[in-house]
């Protein structure tokens, strides 16, 4: 993957993005500040509510550098499987994806040229030291992966240095600065591209949001 294999478009992404990166659409500043404020309130309530966010321990014993909560299905970081309860943590049942969250993700996907019905939402909270190693999202059903149903990502708060690689771990990665309100969609031939977050840029959240850190929501259809 070279520097020209994907590109961002300021509000012209829908019509032309696929010509640059099949299956990859970056919808910059997609959400208004008011929409972002509403999402902050919802994500905070979920993160801090019953069966809220926790710092997962992954296979091998390492602790993730995010607080995570899953809706729809729980992604178990020890088995890499989706489950109905949080078997790796407190066995709490997983609440469904709220209808308005699913509708928002489906709208973003549609604007990126995909049709899908998201039934999983992972919410990650990144503090100033937050990050996420390079990985593939490949634990959804075989049918979903084979159909190339997308991952829809929404960023809220501080800017993230998102790393977007290729289909092999050793492929070069492109750093992308995902800002508050951005949508980022990868599906089709890009569905299994490696990605991660190398760092958060503290102090970059819109002041109207009143947060220090970053929420990231990723939606998938199992």
Which positions touch ligand AKG (CB under 6 A)? 122, 124, 132, 137, 153, 160, 162, 178, 195, 197, 216, 218
The nearest distance, CB 36 to ligand AKG, in angstroms, is 15
DSSP 195: E
Is residue 67 a contact partner of residue 114, using CB atoms and an 8 Å limit? no
When the beta carbons of 149 and 197 are compared against ligand AKG, the nearer one is 197
Angstrom distance (rounded) from CA 178 to CA 176: 6
The nearest distance, CB 117 to ligand AKG, in angstroms, is 19
211, two tokens: 């947060």
The nearest distance, CB 32 to ligand AKG, in angstroms, is 20
Is residue 139 a contact partner of residue 75, using CB atoms and an 8 Å limit? yes
Angstrom distance (rounded) from CA 66 to CA 47: 12
When the beta carbons of 116 and 162 are compared against ligand AKG, the nearer one is 162
Angstrom distance (rounded) from CA 46 to CA 170: 36
When the beta carbons of 16 and 71 are compared against ligand AKG, the nearer one is 71
The nearest distance, CB 4 to ligand AKG, in angstroms, is 22
Residue showing the smallest CB distance to ligand AKG in the complex = 216
H-helix or E-strand spanning residue 182:
none
When the beta carbons of 7 and 131 are compared against ligand AKG, the nearer one is 131
Angstrom distance (rounded) from CA 123 to CA 215: 7
The nearest distance, CB 77 to ligand AKG, in angstroms, is 11
């Amino acid at each position: 993957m070279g520097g020209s294999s994907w590109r961002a478009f300021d509000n012209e992404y829908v019509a032309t993005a696929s010509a640059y990166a099949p299956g990859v659409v970056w919808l910059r500043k997609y959400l208004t500040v008011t929409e972002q404020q509403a999402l902050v309130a919802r994500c905070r309530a979920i993160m801090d509510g019953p069966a809220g966010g926790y710092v997962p321990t992954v296979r091998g014993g390492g602790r993730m550098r995010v607080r995570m909560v899953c809706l729809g299905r729980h992604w178990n970081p020890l088995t890499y499987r989706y489950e109905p309860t949080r078997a790796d943590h407190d066995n709490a049942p997983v609440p469904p994806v709220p209808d308005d969250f699913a509708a928002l993700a489906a709208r973003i996907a549609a604007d990126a040229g995909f049709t899908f019905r998201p039934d999983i939402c992972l919410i990650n909270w990144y503090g100033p030291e937050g990050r996420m190693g390079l990985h593939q999202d490949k634990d959804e059903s075989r049918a979903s992966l084979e159909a190339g149903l997308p991952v829809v990502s929404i960023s809220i708060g501080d800017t993230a240095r998102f790393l977007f690689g290729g289909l092999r771990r050793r492929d070069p990665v492109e750093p992308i600065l995902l800002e508050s309100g951005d949508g980022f969609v990868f599906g089709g031939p890009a569905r299994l591209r490696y990605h991660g977050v190398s760092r958060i840029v503290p102090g970059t959240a819109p002041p109207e949001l009143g947060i220090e850190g970053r929420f990231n929501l990723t939606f998938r259809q199992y």
